[in-house]
Structure 1
Amino acid sequence: MIEMRNLCKTFVLNGRRKVVAQNINAVFPTGASVAILGRNGAGKSTLMRMLSGAMEPDSGEVRSTGTISWPVGFSGSFNGDMTGLQNTRFIARVYGVDTDELADFVADFAELGQHFNLPIRTYSSGMLSRLAFGVSMGLHFDTYLVDEVMAVGDAVFKSKSEALFRERMRTSGSIMITHSLGEVSRMCDKVCVLETGLLEVFDDVGAGIAFYQELMRQPHPDSVASGR
């Protein structure tokens, strides 16, 4: 279970306040697959980083019972001078799993070829995402945080990623950010929509998608506030 209690987060950019979380209260049950939808810039990735513990809220707290992955689309914890293989082995040691087993899994899944043995500072953003997704899927977590990573790659790789994700969801839950409503319909059983720091939670996936679609037909709140 993951619980957000009175979660607040605000940024100040060029003298303007950007509210990402405004007293958010929500509970995601153990084993649930939850989609977080919202406009570009709404703060979805920031919210996910707070859920993972990588970013502190201004106030409020996140409580959890169980293990939570890092946001798997986020590769900031990798050492750029180490190879993909070295980073994978290091993470395996941190989490106490067999280094060879994890390395073999990631090499097979991420399809990086010879790049797996090159420093990751030479990787494209897509390659980094594939490496991060492969490493996280190779480890067991009670809840996986997924940030748009299944949009990476060609149709075959996307299908492969979704199949692996579905396999993990047999025993774990997830919180995922995606703009693909098809993915939401296929893989999620709860929908949250983030807008102006407020989080609307829907137990009915169809109702959540409809709410989001209606929201996207409305003017951006920043445009309304500036009179544009």
Structure 2
Amino acid sequence: MFSPIKLASEFQIARPSYSWASGFFSELDRWRGIEGKYIDHLSLSCGKKVLALGPLHEPEDDTKEEENNSNIIKFLNTKDQSSVVYVSFGSEYFLSRKKGKKWHMALPEGFLERVKERGLVVNGWAPQAKILKHPSTGGIASHCGWGSVIESIHYGVPLLALPMLYDQFIHARLVVEVGVGIEILKDEDGQIKREGVAKVINKVVVEKKEVKLLKQKAREFQ
């Protein structure tokens, strides 16, 4: 758990100028349901009323890459309920050359062909909303971009939080605090261990008691 004041002091926003809050009130794409105490603290700090407009997320667009969507949905239709982990780290973070080479070396030639019945790799845009609302999707391994956090909670899908940069670390802490996800922790060198990933996947998808609690909490915010 972490308090609004502690969080603000850590990121040096306790006494900012708040140039954006020029009027009597300000609007933010935030979600009072899960961020109420932090929004109130922000309001007190800047001396303005803050209106949280969220949760805001894009409506589904059925016109985008229908053929690709069809392949994805067909794959999901073959899987048991809540058995699939959707992995997506957004469009702003890319592996370094060193990490990319490490992944390339770790995956043997022909890997994608061998796992196509168990997993699906999507090159290009993926219909995230369609994937998240599909009954076969049991969790999402996410960088915790705000849009992904909102959509995941909206569709009641537990998060496997793996923040990469910017405000994603704050979002990940919030996800854990409100009980809608579990963070995949890195080691002291900042590396992600396969054992750590497997442990969190097991909690989010396999352990029925943990899964029930996470989904129940997500439903409270819907």
User: TM-score, normalised to structure 1's length?
Assistant: 0.27
Bigger relative contact order (CA 8 A; separation at least 6): 1
* Higher share in strand: 1
User: TM-score, normalised to structure 2's length?
Assistant: 0.27
Larger radius of gyration: 2
